[in-house]
Amino acid sequence: MKKKIAFLLILVFLVGLTLFLFFSHQLVNWLWYRSLDALAQFWIPLLTKLGIRLGLGFFCFCFLYLNLRQTKKAFLELDSEVNVSPQQHTFFSVITALLLTLFLLPGSAPDWTVVQQYLNRTTFGVTDPIFHLDLGFYLFAYPFYQKLIVTFLGLIILALLSVTLFYVVAQAYWYQDRKLSIWPRARIHLTILGVCFFLLKAVDYLFSRCGLLYEEKSLLTGVDFTTHHLRILGYNLMAIIAVLAAILLLTTLFRQKHPRRLIMAGLVLWVGASLLFTLLLPPLVENIVVKPNQF
């Protein structure tokens, strides 16, 4: 009992110290901006940062926790060597979701300037010659969408890894006739997460095409011969293949015979296309077609 009280006191002290340091720093900034009669420049960044951290953090935490919560029945219904009570499972799920959220957000969450540029975006009335999108999209909307996609991709990957770990601990798999079998609920759960990953990856490929328009290279910035004739086509094909991989993965839920072949087919298609259009073909075209005709 004394240890719990001591732990709570230390936790309250650390939280209080953190809040004190944060608000004392913000108080100095507030006084400085007030002296300049520019309080709007103080509140907009502060509230935007808080909104991003709280809103996106709450969403990521809920997504991870709800996925981890789905693994509870595996511990209760399966004969696992690890005995975990419902209360313990909830505790571990909350802690895991919280730690993963704190790990994910600092590096992937959009900066407050990106969010404000998106919220106050405007059009230029001039479109690019490749995708025929307004230039305002590239300056204000594209960075915001790209950051969100990166965040959600990281979120799904962390959910897949953590959920898989929970199912492994619960021993939601077994070997039968020298074949690996997975508990049906776990298979459905992991399949749905995999489908979400591939669909989001398809969206990522489509948006990544826009980043090619101001990609910096050794001789120029923007679309060169290889990008125009190969890399944009590659992103389009990889988006289609990612959707096909998601469909193949989803088909395994309804097809009992040879589901592994469908999974492997989807993975091989996706990995093969990624290697082909990102690592193999672009350098080949550069060396065979572009460089001999540069000068």
pLDDT tens for 59-77 read 999 999 999 999 988 888 8
| pLDDT score of 170 | 85
CA distance 81 to 15: 37
Q: Rounded to whole angstroms, how far apart are CA atoms 148 and 142?
A: 10
- What is the value of pTM for the model shown? 0.85
Cβ atoms of residues 219 and 283 within 8 Å: no
* CB of 160 closer than 8 Å to CB of 197: yes
Other C-beta atoms lying within 10 Å of the C-beta of residue 287: 10
Which two three-digit tokens encode residue 186?
């776990």
How far is Cα 219 from Cα 36, in angstroms, rounded to an integer?
Answer: 45
* The token pair that represents 86 in the structure block: 């419902």
Model pLDDT for residues 132-181, shown as the tens digit of each residue: 899 999 999 999 999 999 999 999 999 999 999 999 888 877 766 667 67
Domain locations in the chain as residue ranges: 27-202, 215-295
